[in-house]
Each structure stands twice: as C-alpha cells, then as structure tokens.
Structure 1
C-alpha cells in the first residue's frame, strides 16, 4: 500500500520553515546572498533565486528593481552582518591571538567562493555607485580589525606596523580556507584556523 504524501515535506529549493517566517525582502536577501557567494554573479539568475525562495520572479522585482541592485543589497547585508560578528569577537577581553583565532574559525566554518573573483565577475553589471557602496561595506569590516591591531600595538602586544596592511593580510590568509582548498587538506575549520593563525602570528622564521 502506498503511503499518503507528507504535506509537511519541504520541496527541494524551498526555504526552511524558519526562513519562511522572515519578511519577503529579507528572505530574498538571505537566499540570494548564499547563492551569489557560492556560485558567483553570472551563474545565478533572478528566476533561480525566486525558485529557491518559493516566490515568483515578479515578487523579486517588487522589492529589487534589478539583479545588480539585489546583488548590491545582498552583499552589503552580508558584510554588515560580518562586521557585527567581527566587532563582537574583537571587542571581547583576552589576548589578540585568541580573538583572531576565534574570528578565523567562525569565518572558515562558513566557506564560500572567492569574493574578489565574484566582484570582478559582477563589476561590469554594477553602476559606479553600487561598486562604491559594496567597497565601503567591505572596508567597514577592515576598520574593526584596524582598530584592534592599532590598540594591540599601543599596548605593546604586537610590534609596531601598518594596521591596514595587517588587516588585509589576515583576510587574504583566510581565503586559503575556502571550500575547494580546505577540502584538499581534509581539515576541520578549527584545525585550519589554527594553522592559518600560526602562520600569521609567527611567520616562517624559526623561533
């Protein structure tokens, strides 16, 4: 005897129940952010985003006038959340190394595509103002790290240097932890975070 269909089964591509409780524009932003970061700009269409959200393409156009605007809103929303989490971690008490290691572990636990590659792909479709908005949101994350590095320099915890350069170097090393590369080493986010932080903190010179 065939079992009756389960009406509670979520269809492939449909949002989770917790996501369905979000306002439509926030649901679209969350899912679009994931799709863009995992697949790039060109590979994802508004129709694919609509299907993943369980809404019509017209619903997306109701909230966002174009794919470029949705991409911009998605990226700035994502970087805004990243800044909030970065600030929370870096403002904790404790040694700078421990806070950076925790930040690295959190970031590596959410692997995604290379942001620089995604931006190069999307740039031709974005207006100068949209590019400026995205770059400003990314720099806001760096500002949190710059402040932490400068504070640690002032306290003598690390040697005097360029805090902006340190922030860029730190995030560049974290890109080693994207999905494709980290899989080659078969390391958990925690172990990979420790390896990256050991290289960042101690370099390659014997101690």
Structure 2
C-alpha cells in the first residue's frame, strides 16, 4: 500500500499552498477578531476557507479548540510584530508611538469583549493558554520599558505594570478609532500622556 495515501477525512492540499490547517487558523482568527466569539460559527469559517465543516473537525474537536488555537496564533504574531517595532533604531518614545499607531490602525473587536463571550465555553487550560500567549506581548513591551529605565529615558517603576497600563489604554483607544479619531494623533496623545508620567 502506498505511504502517500491521505488519512481518511484529511482535506486535500495543493503543492505550494498554505496547509488547510494554516488557512483555517488564519480565517478563523480574522473572523473571531472582527466579529467576536458568539457571532462566528464553524460553518462560517469553513465557507470562508472554501472547505467543508467536516474538514475543520479533522483538525479541531470543536469551536473552543479552534478559538484557542486561533487566538494563540494571533498573540504570537502580535508578539513578533511588537518585538520588530520596538527594535527600531529610534528613541523609546518614538518606538512606543509607532507601536501604538500600528495597533490602533488595525480595526478589530475589543479583546476583552471577545474573551468575555468565549469564557464560559473554554476550559481553564484553554483560558490559560490564551492568557500565556497574551502575556508574551506584555513581556516584550516590559523589557523595552525596563531598558528605558536603565538608560534613564524614563523613571524607575514596575515595567510590567507599565506595559499592562499602556496596553489597556490602547484597547480603550480602539473605541475612539471607531468614532473616527485618526490613529496617528490618538497614538501620539496616548503615549504622550504616559510619557509625561514616566519621564524623570
């Protein structure tokens, strides 16, 4: 028997294309981040991917498992992007403004709202997995704030607390973006508000 036979039920994949699982994760994360947990169905995700719902079940037991994988993947991508932005050759203040503008320029549903909707459907292990991935973003930001404290660009304080505070205000900023406030100006206003409180 040929070893190249697909497992029963496994979706077909053409050469040089993203795997079906990668496509499902990408489409699912886009839909969850745009519409929230409750509004998105597996059938809707399958349609967006051009596959059957049965194909999704080949990889994931159900919506909670897919949501966890999708949100975790989103957080890992955000972590990588955050690190790249904060590694730019410019002052800490300008890097924070760049980070804020980038985050505010990407429209998506409020993360806390999405998690409130999903919480009752997720196991403690799934919730922990998502929050660990989210913590990775805060850890990267906190590390750059810590370096700013060492270089005396900002005053000493708990860098992780400062990272969480900046992230929280940026989430609130997303609501202002929805009202029509330009992202560049809002990003600068938010970081300047923190900067005045952080400077030595």
TM-score, structure 1 normalization: 0.83
Could you say which residue in structure 1 is the equivalent of 2:189? Answer: 195
- Please give the root-mean-square deviation of Cα atoms over the aligned residues, in Å: 1.5
Matched length: 182
Alpha-carbon distance between aligned partners in 1 of 2:48 and 2:42, rounded to the nearest angstrom: 10
Secondary structure of the residue aligned to 2:64 is helix
Matching residue within 24, 33, 51 for 2:20:
24
* Separation (CA, whole Å) in 2 of partners of 1:59 and 1:115: 27
**2:61 counterpart of 1:65:** yes
Map 1:124-139 to 2 at 5 A.
124-139=120-135
Matches within 5 A, 1:31-50: 31-50=27-46
| Uncovered stretches (5+) of structure 1, i.e. residues with no partner | 1-19
Q: Deviations over 1:1-24 (max 9, x none)?
A: xxxxxxxxxxxxxxxxxxx93211
CA contact under 8 A between 1:38 and 1:113: conserved in structure 2? yes
Q: Return the match for 1:109 from 90, 105, 110.
A: 105
1:98 CA displacement: 0.7
1:183 aligns with 2:178: yes
Conserved 8 A contact 1:32-1:71: yes
Kindly state the Cα deviation for residue 189 of structure 1 after the two structures are TM-superposed: 2.0
Q: How far did residue 120 of structure 1 move?
A: 1.4
Structure 2 gaps, min length 5: 1-15
Q: Does 1:148 align with 2:144?
A: yes
